[in-house]
Structure 1
């Protein structure tokens, strides 16, 4: 069996690369998808498609439309969503994507530190599993494919 896993969360750190490398080392049959990781492309896609926008607000709205479209399509095709709540960056997109996964009926693994337990308690209860580390999420993937 092959799995498609949507990796939801901030795009500024290398946590996705860590998961991909560790999964590849275990030779697990997993294909990863996720949000546009090129931050400039994500911010500018609305203008790339629609042309110059009259203000920063319209530019953001146009980009959001295409980023949301991309996320919805890829997430709906995924078998599982992993959402990482990191320490350093704002986590609004992570919360939105994790909530969307729940709304779409997608199995969800949350990765969050113990420090975020209280703030994410409701979302954790909606997730299928909540772990504290990338390694624990990989162990869950390995178990699914046993």
Structure 2
């Protein structure tokens, strides 16, 4: 049995590759998907498809509609969502994706540092599991496949 995991969260650090490499080394039957990790492509996809937009607001709206479609489709096809809240970047997209996963009834693992416990307490209560590190999330994934 292979599980499809949607990896929501910031796209500026290497956390996805770290998780994927460790899952591969453990030979876990996982398939990963997630948002467009090329930030410039994500920001410019609206103009690439729809043509030059009159200003930055229209450019953002055009890109957002396409990125939201991508997220909705890939998340709906996933079996599980992992949402990482880092310490450095604004987390609006992560919060939106984690909330969407909860609303869809998708199993959800939140990764968030201890310092973000209070601002994320309601979202943590909607998640199936809340952990503080990528390694802890990987241990949860690994446990799913244990038989004894």
* TM-score relative to the length of structure 1: 0.99
The Cα of 1:137 is off from its aligned counterpart by: 0.2
**Is the partner of 1:109 in helix, strand or coil?**
strand
State the superposition RMSD in angstroms: 0.5
Match of 2:144 in 1: 144
Q: Any stretches of 5+ residues in structure 2 without a counterpart?
A: none
The reply to whether residue 34 of structure 1 matches residue 54 of structure 2 is no
Distance in structure 2 (CA, Å) of the matches to 1:15 and 1:142: 17
Q: Any stretches of 5+ residues in structure 1 without a counterpart?
A: none
Distance in structure 2 (CA, Å) of the matches to 1:24 and 1:11: 20
Match of 2:21 in 1: 21
**Is the partner of 2:28 in helix, strand or coil?**
coil
**Is the partner of 2:7 in helix, strand or coil?**
strand
Distance in structure 2 (CA, Å) of the matches to 1:75 and 1:145: 21
Distance in structure 2 (CA, Å) of the matches to 1:93 and 1:12: 13
Distance in structure 2 (CA, Å) of the matches to 1:45 and 1:2: 31
Q: Structure 1 residue runs of 4+, over 2 Å off?
A: none
Distance in structure 2 (CA, Å) of the matches to 1:4 and 1:145: 14
The Cα of 1:145 is off from its aligned counterpart by: 1.6
Match of 1:10 in 2: 10
The Cα of 1:61 is off from its aligned counterpart by: 0.1
Distance in structure 1 (CA, Å) of the matches to 2:114 and 2:60: 33
Give the length in aligned residue pairs. 146
Match of 2:99 in 1: 99
Match of 2:123 in 1: 123
TM-superposition CA deviations, 1:40-83 (whole Å, max 9, x none): 00000000110001111000000000000000000000000000
TM-superposition CA deviations, 1:28-48 (whole Å, max 9, x none): 000000000000000000001
